[in-house]
Amino acid sequence: MSVDTTALNRDRHDLSGREDVWLFGYGSLIFKADFPFLESSPATIVGWARRFWQGSHDHRGTPEAPGRVATLVRAPGAVCTGLGYRVSPDVFDHLDFREKNGYLRFTTEMTLADGRHCDGLVYIATEDNQAYLGPAPESEIALHIARSRGPSGDNAEYLLRLANALRELDIDDKHVFEIERYLRSC
C-alpha cells in the first residue's frame, strides 16, 4: 500500500450527515490533540496492542532514515487503553493529512470510562503499508528512536511524551515503558 493514505481515508467512511464521531487515540493523539473535540474520555478497545512498529517518514524521521512510531497490532484477548474523542466529522480532514504516512481508518467498538459502548474510528498502520517496520526487541527500538529525528522533532520526544501521558492517565503499557527505560539509559 502507498505511503500517502490521505485519499484512501477520505473515501473509506461516509460521514455525511453525522453530527459527531468517536475517535480512539492510542499514540500521538493522546499527547497532541491539535483539533477541536466535543468530549474526551479514557477508552478501551479489545484485541489490539500498541507497538512501535511503524516507520515515520514525515514526522519523526525521513524517508531515508525513518523513525519509529506507534501503531496497533492484533493481539487476541488484549485490551488497549487510550483516549476517546467525540469530534465533528470535519476533524478527519485535518487528521487524514496529519496521519497520512501509512495509517488507514478502521471502525472499532470502544468502551468509555463511564461504561458507554460506542463505535468509533481508529487509525492503524497495517503491515502491508510501505512504511511498516515490524517487530524488534525493545532495546533495539530504543536505540533506533534515540538516533531518529524528523520535521516534527526528535523521535525520543514522541516516545517520552507518550509514556508520560500514559502514566498521567494511569495506563500501564509494558512495551512503551520498557522502551522508555532503555531510552533513558542510552
Burial class (CB in 10 A: 0-12, 13-18, 19+), 127: middle
- Identify the DSSP state of 4: B
Give the C-alpha separation, 92 to 115, whole Å.
25
Count the neighbouring beta carbons within 10 Å of the beta carbon of residue 21.
Answer: 20
Q: Which helix (H) or strand (E) holds 6?
A: helix 6-10
Residue numbers at the binding site for ligand BEZ (CB under 6 A): 25-30, 70, 99, 103, 123
Cell numbers standing for residue 181: 527505560
Q: Which is nearer to ligand BEZ, 30 or 141 (CB)?
A: 30
Least Å distance between CB 146 and ligand BEZ? 20
Catalytic residue of the set 99, 109, 140, 180: 99
Task: Closer to ligand BEZ by CB, 100 or 149: give it.
Answer: 100
Shortest separation between residue 136's beta carbon and ligand BEZ, angstroms:
18
Nearer to ligand BEZ, 103 or 182 (CB): 103
Rounded Cα distance, 70 and 32, in Å: 14
Residues whose CB falls within 8 Å of the CB of residue 65, separated by 6 or more in sequence, listed in order: 148
According to DSSP, residue 89 is labeled T
We find the least distance from the C-beta atom of residue 1 to ligand BEZ, in angstroms, to be 15
Closer to ligand BEZ by Cβ: residue 129 or 149: 129
**Whole-angstrom distance, CA of residue 179 vs CA of residue 82:** 18
Per the annotation, the verdict on 99 as an active-site residue is yes
DSSP state of 181: H
CB of 154 to ligand BEZ, least distance (A): 17
Q: Mind telling me the catalytic residues?
A: 99
